[in-house]
Amino acid sequence: MYGINGRNGAPTTVCEDVSATAKIGYGRVSTRDQNPDSQRDALTEAGCDKIFIDKASGKLASRPELDKALDYARAGDTFVITRLARAARSLKHLIELAESLRERGIDLLVLKQGIDTSTPTGRLAFHMLGAIDEFQRELIVEGTHEGLASARSRGRTGGRRPTLTATQVRMARQMYDSEEYTVQQIADTFHTSRATIYRALSDEGDFAYVVYRSSKPKVDNDGRSYGETGQGDHSRAQYDSDRMYWPLDDAKRHRAKAMVYVTDGIVTRIRAIDPNGQWTPDQRANGTYWEIPVTAPLTHDEITKQFPTLDLTLGDELPRQRGKQREHLAL
């Protein structure tokens, strides 16, 4: 004999306890050729009763398996992930996800970061994340108002027209989500650059500035060392090399939150960008290149706490695509 009260409307036998709680596991690989086995193994070891895995890249792509996992979960269940970045597109999305789970009576367990919202300590961690999110929004709003006032005082009332229309952005997103086109093919379709497509798909949010290098030290025409100096991550020479000089539009500076240095395909250092630091333009480049106020190299724990949605940490592999020296990674 069957009923109709199972999860998602599935029939249940009379002897089945539909009120029993479950652990729902969710994982995601950040590139289309990564293997999700390590996440699946961790979720299985954690005792997950059902596991959902997405193959999508960070903030840009849709996540059908995440939607299925959240739809499957019921009050009293525990939603299990290995890292915060696996489930959240951004810090804002992370807060919204946690609040939605709380309202539905579902606990959140993050295996690698020791967060369990069934405990007071775990709930406090999310309250702190919410406070950080609110603080960041206030800084952005304040900076925007100051920038607009400054522009108006100089007689400027608007920016340049967007390269892509809203319809073209929607089409580009559909092409990307289909996994049948590369970013270059999408850019060629709309007769624009890859950078424009990346900006359109990332919604122009906060980002980490990723720099690709080789391990061989280099010196410019003025005798300044740049790249990997070979003098140690915490040396003054490496600090100077890491902070100057980088091309970045003035309007984007307030959205740059971290610098990620990739050496020979491996993430070797991650530095935060000091929100109160001084950005100094390179006078030789008419202000288009900047000395960026970066912090000391972050530890694994500091990276996790400061950038919970950054899908990278020290030692991760990040091979450079041919010809690419820098890119913006959405947070």
Q: Are residues 213 and 277 in the same domain?
A: yes
What is the per-residue pLDDT across 16-30, written as a single tens digit (0 to 9) for each?
Answer: 444 578 999 999 886
Kindly indicate the confidence band of residue 15, based on its pLDDT and cuts at 50, 70 and 90.
very low
The pTM of this model reads: 0.47
What is the per-residue pLDDT across 164-178, written as a single tens digit (0 to 9) for each?
Answer: 777 787 788 778 766
Asked if the peptide bond before residue 72 counts as cis, ω within 30 degrees of 0, the response is no
What is the per-residue pLDDT across 250-274, written as a single tens digit (0 to 9) for each?
Answer: 767 888 999 999 999 899 999 999 9
Which domain does 55 fall in, by range? Answer: 2-125
Residue 197 covered by a domain: yes
Report the CATH number at residue 78. Answer: 3.40.50.1390
- Is residue 308 within 8 Å of 85, Cβ to Cβ? yes
Look at residue 184 in the predicted model and tell me its pLDDT: 85
Q: Are residues 23 and 50 in the same domain?
A: yes
- Is the pLDDT score of 299 beyond 80? yes
246: left (phi over 0), alpha (psi -120 to 50) or beta: beta
**Residue from 19, 30, 178, 235 carrying the catalytic annotation:** 30
What is the per-residue pLDDT across 280-291, written as a single tens digit (0 to 9) for each?
Answer: 887 665 557 889
- Is the pLDDT score of 194 beyond 50? yes
30 an active-site residue? yes
222: left (phi over 0), alpha (psi -120 to 50) or beta: alpha
Q: Are residues 179 and 293 in the same domain?
A: no
Number of structural domains (the chain) is: 3
Distance CA 328, CA 202 (A): 9
Q: Are residues 195 and 222 in the same domain?
A: no
Q: Are residues 8 and 56 in the same domain?
A: yes
Q: Of 125, 151, 186, which residue is a domain's last?
A: 125
Look at residue 25 in the predicted model and tell me its pLDDT: 96
Residue 150 covered by a domain: no
Kindly indicate the confidence band of residue 11, based on its pLDDT and cuts at 50, 70 and 90.
very low
Q: Are residues 182 and 259 in the same domain?
A: no
Kindly indicate the confidence band of residue 1, based on its pLDDT and cuts at 50, 70 and 90.
very low
323 or 219, higher pLDDT: 219
Distance CA 158, CA 214 (A): 41
Environment class of 254 (CB within 10 Å of its CB; exposed 0-12, middle 13-18, buried 19+): middle
Residue 175 covered by a domain: yes
Task: Report the candidate in 53, 61, 48 with the shortest Cα–Cα distance to residue 21.
Answer: 48
76 or 322, higher pLDDT: 76
Q: Are residues 116 and 21 in the same domain?
A: yes
Distance CA 27, CA 146 (A): 41
Q: Are residues 234 and 288 in the same domain?
A: yes
Residue 60 covered by a domain: yes
Distance CA 29, CA 61 (A): 12
Task: Report the candidate in 10, 137, 133, 24 with the shortest Cα–Cα distance to residue 77.
Answer: 24
Most confident among 38-47, 60-69, 144-153 (mean pLDDT):
38-47
Residue 321 covered by a domain: yes
Look at residue 145 in the predicted model and tell me its pLDDT: 64
- Is the pLDDT score of 61 beyond 90? no
How do strand 289-291 and strand 280-281 relate by DSSP bridges?
Answer: antiparallel
Residue 288 covered by a domain: yes
- Is the pLDDT score of 296 beyond 80? yes
Q: Of 186, 204, 222, which residue is a domain's last?
A: 204
Strand-pair partners of 267: 262
Q: Are residues 170 and 209 in the same domain?
A: no
Distance CA 217, CA 212 (A): 13
219 or 30, higher pLDDT: 219
Would you state the structure tokens that stand for residue 167, as one six-digit string? Answer: 């319809």
Residue 71 covered by a domain: yes
Residue 216 covered by a domain: yes
Distance CA 331, CA 60 (A): 10
306 or 282, higher pLDDT: 306
Q: Are residues 235 and 255 in the same domain?
A: yes
Q: Are residues 210 and 325 in the same domain?
A: yes
Q: Are residues 108 and 174 in the same domain?
A: no
What is the per-residue pLDDT across 92-142, written as a single tens digit (0 to 9) for each?
Answer: 777 788 888 888 999 999 888 778 888 888 777 766 765 665 555 566 666
Q: Of 125, 150, 174, which residue is a domain's last?
A: 125
* pLDDT over 90, % of the chain: 24
